[in-house]
Structure 1
Amino acid sequence: MKRRSYLLLAMFCVAGCKENTDSLPAGTENSFATNSTETYKPDAAQSFGDFSFSIPKGWTAVPPDREKTKAMLLLDGTDGQNAKAMIKIDVGMPAAPTARQLAESFAKSVGGNVSSDALDFDGEEAVVATTSSNDLGTPRNMIIVYRDGKAYLLMAGATEGVDIGDAVSHIRSSWKWKQATN
């Protein structure tokens, strides 16, 4: 059941964040080998291409399941099938003119809401959509940033009773952009 839900989520993300099929610029490759994991290291930022953040306590970074997924974190699990919570960050070409329009489209498709307040991600404005989801098939939070012609989608989902607010706040507060290479 969870795998089917992830497929539905993946289909939405394909619509929300188009993958750039051009070759990636140097330095934007995922920093994890296909069989490695990274766990919490106090105050140690992990690089994920053109951004970095420190992994929240109790979470583990695992190899992404798709090319456009630049970071994938799990809480108490080894894959999306058995984790209590998941945070994924997809990067691609924007599929809507603005981050707010993309957030509104997502929220409308799942019966969620878009916050009127923006968040700050290291100087860039982020738009937040929330849902009442209690499974990993639909994000409970989707945070969208448009920067340098790319869309960054931070999607956080959790099973019933699992709080992901502190983890998302930790990522946001430790998030750093690498300088644009125009």
Structure 2
Amino acid sequence: MLTNSLVLGAAEAASHEGINGGDILFQLVIFIVLLALLKKVAWGPLMGIMKQREEFVANEIASAEKSRKEAANTLEEQRALLKEARVEAQNLIEKAKAQGDAQRELIIADAKKEAERVKSAALLEIDQQKEKAVAAIRDQVSSLSVLIASKVIEKELTDQDQEKLINDYIQEVGEKR
């Protein structure tokens, strides 16, 4: 309605040939009132909404920057922890290898000692068995010698009898074994 009256007022002014000061003043007052209403009704709330939107965007940007910095810090912390875990794992592997090597050397040393002990025991047993065999042979030789001597004393032997006697005793010793 206000615009219709302005348009009508402008059309009437154009139909008159002279400049009407009252119409100009009226239109100027209406224009100022319209500007004041626009400022109060539309411009103020619009500027308030724009100010709120600007603050919201600024807060979102600040929050995003803060989140980015926190993510970068977290990423660096995770990288440091991962590096530390890798170093720790490498140390554990090296310790396990060293322990395995030490254990292997200990097992080898124990096996060598055991082998040496078994060898010594076997050599000792061989010597004992050898001494027993030598003692048994001495006993047999001495008993044979006594037996032969007693037989020889009992009778006077010819060469043939002596040979036969020796062969008989050798055969008898072979059967005893």
Flag whether TM exceeds 0.5 (same fold): no
Q: Choose between structure 1 and 2: higher strand proportion.
A: 1
Query: Please, what TM-score do these two structures have when normalized by structure 2?
Result: 0.17
Greater helix share, 1 or 2? 2
Which of these two proteins has the greater Rg computed from alpha carbons? Answer: 2
**TM-score normalised over the length of structure 1:** 0.16
